[in-house]
């Protein structure tokens, strides 16, 4: 999209379209006023975006495709410019600095060490209701082969916990959650993210 065609009251949010829960994020973004959602597969599609969502899926696959598509450095630069990034589930893993078993190449956007599949396998998937003081009460959250944040640096604001495991965090312009907000009808987390882009 050409810069001149950007409307000042509209937030332009991209969804990384490599693998995983892409269309669900687009649908949720479309439920919010003054948001223009677009798909991102190539570095040049990051230009003029205010924010980027890295969806859930399979972090090893998304990591490989990020490299294949030449997106590793462009996404890191996008984050350094202060643009908003939301990583959900596998997206949280990818935003991390390390994983406990070092099995995935990460974007290193947030000072966290992630336990992949920390809540167990597909069969251990669950849905719950979270109170997230910064955002709101009674927020539905869907956990599918979900990771948790095993360790977080001092600059990381830990926003929500389950059984003492951190499941949502923010470090400046980077927001991550272990679960899938886009699989519910509650768009408060998405609105919180968009407002900060």
Ligand X SMILES: NC(=O)CC[C@H](N)C(=O)O
Among 93, 110, 152, 162, binds ligand X (CB under 6 A): 93
Among 90, 152, 183, 197, binds ligand X (CB under 6 A): 90
Name, in order, each residue with C-beta under 8 angstroms of 159's C-beta and a sequence gap of 6 or more: 132, 133, 134, 135, 166, 168, 169, 170
Per the DSSP assignment, residues forming a β-bridge with 149 are 114, 166
Tell me if 57 contacts ligand X by CB under 6 A.
yes
Tell me if 89 contacts ligand X by CB under 6 A.
yes
Q: Is 103 annotated as a binding-site member?
A: no
Tell me if 25 contacts ligand X by CB under 6 A.
no
Find the length of the chain. 197
Q: How far is CA 105 from CA 5, 65, 95, 133, in A?
A: 36, 11, 10, 32
- Give catalytic status of residue 89 as yes or no: yes
Q: Which residues belong to the annotated binding site for L-glutamine?
A: 57-59, 116, 144-145
The catalytic residue positions are: 89, 180, 182
Residues in contact with ligand X by the rule CB under 6 A: 56-59, 89-90, 93, 116-117, 144-145, 147
């Amino acid at each position: 999209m050409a810069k001149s065609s950007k409307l000042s009251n509209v937030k332009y949010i991209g969804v990384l379209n490599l693998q995983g829960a892409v269309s669900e994020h687009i649908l949720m973004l479309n439920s919010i006023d003054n948001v223009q959602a677009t798909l991102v597969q190539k570095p040049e599609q990051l230009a003029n975006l205010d924010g980027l969502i890295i969806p859930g899926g399979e972090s090893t696959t998304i990591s490989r495709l990020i490299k294949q598509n030449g997106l590793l450095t462009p996404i890191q630069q996008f984050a350094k410019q202060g643009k908003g990034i939301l990583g959900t589930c596998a997206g949280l893993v990818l935003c991390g600095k390390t994983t406990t078993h070092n099995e995935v190449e990460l974007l290193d956007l947030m000072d966290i060490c992630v336990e992949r599949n920390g809540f167990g396998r597909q069969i251990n998937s669950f849905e719950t209701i979270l109170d997230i003081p910064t955002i709101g009460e009674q927020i539905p959250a869907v956990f599918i082969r979900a990771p948790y944040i095993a360790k977080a640096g001092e600059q990381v604001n830990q926003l929500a916990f389950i059984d003492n495991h951190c499941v949502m965090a923010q470090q400046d312009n980077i927001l991550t959650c272990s679960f899938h907000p886009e699989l519910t009808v509650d768009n408060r987390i998405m609105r919180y993210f968009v407002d900060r882009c």
